[in-house]
């Protein structure tokens, strides 16, 4: 799809974008985009930490190391 785009075409697109938005608006657009990406990354890392914390709680709740040993039933005794 984008295999026919070369450096000349990218330069033309850059010139058109500069003509439409201007350098000041483009600078603020870049900083806004950077802060949005930073916010997205922090939200993803917070979600990963929260998921790991929930998994840890589930493992702690389902800890089978301290389960009592089953007592033999009384029906198996030979008389």
Judge whether residue 20 has pLDDT over 70: yes
In what helix (H) or strand (E) does residue 11 lie, and over which residues does it extend? helix 7-21
Q: Check if the beta carbon of residue 26 is closer than 8 Å to that of residue 17.
A: yes
Q: Give the tens place of pLDDT for each residue, 39-79.
A: 999 999 888 888 888 777 766 655 566 656 676 666 655 55
- Give the pTM: 0.45
How high is the pLDDT of residue 27?
A: 81
**CA angle 50-51-55, nearest 5°?**
120
How high is the pLDDT of residue 48?
A: 85
Dihedral angle computed from the Cα positions of residues 56, 61, 67 and 70, in that order, rounded to the nearest 10 degrees: -130
DSSP code, position 74: G
């Amino acid at each position: 799809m984008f295999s026919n785009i070369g450096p000349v075409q990218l330069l033309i697109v850059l010139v058109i974008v500069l003509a439409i938005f201007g350098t000041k608006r483009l600078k603020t657009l870049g900083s806004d985009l950077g802060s949005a990406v930073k916010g997205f990354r922090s939200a993803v890392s917070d979600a990963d930490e929260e998921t790991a914390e929930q998994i840890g709680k589930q493992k702690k709740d389902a800890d089978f190391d301290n389960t009592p040993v089953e007592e033999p039933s009384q029906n198996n005794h030979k008389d």
